[in-house]
């Protein structure tokens, strides 16, 4: 029941957003094509700007995995992950997600490429990636931009929320896609 | 932080490869990973362009104002220290809307604007105000309706159904945001008990 509802929402969200946007804009007399093209131009720059970050992180992560270092780390944390029924392939992502968005993206890519986007791990990784943000980065940029030095409880709350997001992603994916 | 992290990742990778007698894989891995990174980004161009195009229509048509209207009561509850018609409020609402639509890149400029406006209301300039902390808590927990980048990545890596994770993402993101707000409220409560500043 829950699984079915979620898959219906999944299928309908994007078409509905696009439909509503276009119909509304049309009613308001917006030149939808011209405006769309104008906005789409930015997409190119954004994607291209990601390249250096992705190269740096993908190289480091792949090296870590291919050298056998990740196996060693995973081996030691495995019991804890088994206890929580979390696939151990997700471990590097869980560690990296709050620290660096681009490297988390690189790890997710690596998981999707090697385990398959439609595997359970692939779906958990996708869900984790979509449902949390790079806590350290956001704090650094946002507080840095206005000169805040004392960040009070922000970091603690951010990391607690990340952890809750991870666990929720694992639980819900196991429920919806597992078995 | 990220500099030291990258340094150690590379160091551990190369040293471990040497330790396990696999040093010959290092250059191979480096070049294939770099090549992979470039092709992924090229693949991302298509979907980024599409969503930023839609985003522009949402702004231009005024649909963004409708979204803002819907979210205003929520924002008023979350940020009690910000006057209703203060410019900080509309920047916060734009940021939340962009985040909800999964437009991380569109959300950041609004977020920085919101911080700038909140700083004007902040009595102690080197210390985050409680509303700033709430704002950061919500932002770091991420508030996504359409995880566009992930969907793009899934389709680039050959998923049969790239959008099937929207539902699970919604639930996970609702959980992390709820936890963030609850802890933030908890801290606010403790501060008030201590008689601290807002």
Is B164 an 8 Å CB contact of chain A? Answer: yes
- Cα atoms found within 13 Å of the Cα of residue A3, Cβ hemisphere only: 8
Nearest to B18 by CA among A110, A107, A66, A76: A66
CA distance B190 to chain A (A): 11
Q: Span B33-58, mean pLDDT?
A: 82
pLDDT value, residue B55 = 77
Q: What percent of chain B has pLDDT over 90?
A: 35
Residue B106: pLDDT above 70? Answer: no
All residues at 6 or more sequence positions from A116 whose CB lies less than 8 Å from its CB, including other chains: A122, B157, B158
All residues at 6 or more sequence positions from A70 whose CB lies less than 8 Å from its CB, including other chains: A64, A92
CA distance B57 to chain A (A): 6
Residue A88: pLDDT above 70? Answer: yes
- Cα atoms found within 13 Å of the Cα of residue A120, Cβ hemisphere only: 15
pLDDT value, residue A118 = 94
Interface test with chain B among A146, A166, A175, by most B beta carbons within 10 Å: A146
Out of A55, A61, A161, closest to residue B137 by CB: A161
Nearest to A14 by CA among B116, B47, B193, B119: B47
> Per the structure block, which two tokens stand in for A96?
């990296």
Residue B92: pLDDT above 80? Answer: yes
CA distance A95 to chain B (A): 12
Is residue A6 very low, low, confident or very high in pLDDT (cuts 50, 70, 90)?
A: low
pTM, to two decimals: 0.72
The answer to whether residues A148 and B112 touch, using CB atoms and an 8 Å cutoff, is: no
Which of residues 150 through 179 in chain A touch B, CB cutoff 8 A? 150-154, 156-158, 160-162, 164-165, 168-169, 172-173, 176-177
Out of A43, A108, A133, closest to residue B153 by CB: A108
Is residue B168 very low, low, confident or very high in pLDDT (cuts 50, 70, 90)?
A: very high
Residue A99: pLDDT above 80? Answer: no
Between the CA of residue A36 and those of A40, A42, A43, what are the distances in Å?
6, 11, 11
The answer to whether residues B176 and B169 touch, using CB atoms and an 8 Å cutoff, is: no
Higher pLDDT, B175 or A97: B175
Q: Do B146 and A14 touch (CB under 8 A)?
A: yes
The CA-to-CA distance between both ends of chain B, in Å, stands at 30
Q: Do A66 and B50 touch (CB under 8 A)?
A: no
| Bridge partners, residue A150, by sequence | B127
The answer to whether residues B142 and A132 touch, using CB atoms and an 8 Å cutoff, is: yes
Out of A39, A127, A151, closest to residue B169 by CB: A127
pLDDT value, residue B102 = 65
Out of A28, A42, A143, closest to residue B62 by CB: A28
Which of residues 21 through 50 in chain B touch A, CB cutoff 8 A? 22, 25-26, 29-30, 32-34, 36-38, 40-42, 44-50
Distance in angstroms (rounded) separating the CA atoms of residues B153 and B40: 8
Nearest to B175 by CA among A175, A77, A50: A175
Higher pLDDT, B185 or A97: B185
Higher pLDDT, B123 or B101: B123
Residue A14: pLDDT above 80? Answer: no
Is residue A52 very low, low, confident or very high in pLDDT (cuts 50, 70, 90)?
A: confident
Is B88 an 8 Å CB contact of chain A? Answer: no
Structure letter (DSSP) for residue A132: -
pLDDT value, residue B196 = 55
Task: Please work out, in degrees rounded to the nearest 5, the angle formed at the alpha carbon of residue A154 by the alpha carbons of A152 and A158.
Answer: 155
Between the CA of residue A93 and those of A101, A109, A140, A166, what are the distances in Å?
10, 10, 20, 10
* Phi/psi at B33 (5° precision): -65, -40
Q: Span B190-196, mean pLDDT?
A: 77
Per residue, what are the HEC states of A76-88? Answer: HHHHHHHHCCCCH
Distance in angstroms (rounded) separating the CA atoms of residues A34 and B52: 13
Is A148 an 8 Å CB contact of chain B? Answer: yes
Average pLDDT, rounded, for chain B: 85
> Per the structure block, which two tokens stand in for A143?
């507080």
């Amino acid at each position: 029941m829950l699984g079915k509802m979620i898959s219906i929402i999944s299928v309908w969200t994007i078409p509905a957003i696009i439909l509503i946007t276009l119909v509304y804009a049309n009613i308001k007399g917006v030149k939808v094509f011209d405006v769309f093209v104008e906005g789409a131009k930015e997409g190119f720059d954004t994607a291209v700007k990601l390249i250096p970050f992705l190269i740096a992180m993908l190289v480091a992560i792949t090296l870590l995995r291919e050298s056998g270092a990740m196996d060693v780390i995973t081996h030691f944390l495995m019991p804890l992950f088994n206890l929580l029924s979390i696939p151990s392939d997700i471990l590097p992502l869980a560690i990296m997600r709050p620290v660096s968005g681009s490297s988390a993206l690189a790890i997710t890519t690596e998981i999707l490429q090697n385990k398959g986007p439609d595997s359970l791990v692939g779906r958990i990784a996708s869900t984790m990636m979509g449902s949390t943000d790079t806590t350290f980065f956001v704090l650094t940029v946002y507080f840095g931009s206005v000169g805040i030095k004392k960040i009070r409880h922000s970091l603690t709350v951010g990391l607690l929320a990340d952890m809750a997001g991870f666990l929720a992603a694992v639980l819900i994916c196991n429920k919806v896609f597992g078995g | 932080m990220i500099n030291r992290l990258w340094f150690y990742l590379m160091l551990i990778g190369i040293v471990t490869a040497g330790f396990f007698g696999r040093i010959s894989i290092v250059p191979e891995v480096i070049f294939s990973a770099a090549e992979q990174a470039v092709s992924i980004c090229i693949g991302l161009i298509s979907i980024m362009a599409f969503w930023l195009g839609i985003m522009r229509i949402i702004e231009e048509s005024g649909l963004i104002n409708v979204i803002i209207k819907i979210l205003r009561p929520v924002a008023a509850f979350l940020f009690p220290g910000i006057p209703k018609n203060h410019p900080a409020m509309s920047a916060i609402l734009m940021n939340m809307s962009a985040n909800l639509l999964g437009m991380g890149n569109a959300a950041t400029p609004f977020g920085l604007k919101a911080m700038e406006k909140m700083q004007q209301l902040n009595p102690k300039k080197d210390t985050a105000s409680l509303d700033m902390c709430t704002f950061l808590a919500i932002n770091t927990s991420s508030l996504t309706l359409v995880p566009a980048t992930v969907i793009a990545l899934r389709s680039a890596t050959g998923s049969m159904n790239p959008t099937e994770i929207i539902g699970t993402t919604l639930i996970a993101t609702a959980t992390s945001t709820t936890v963030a707000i609850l802890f933030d409220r908890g801290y606010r409560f403790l501060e008030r008990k201590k008689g601290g500043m807002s």
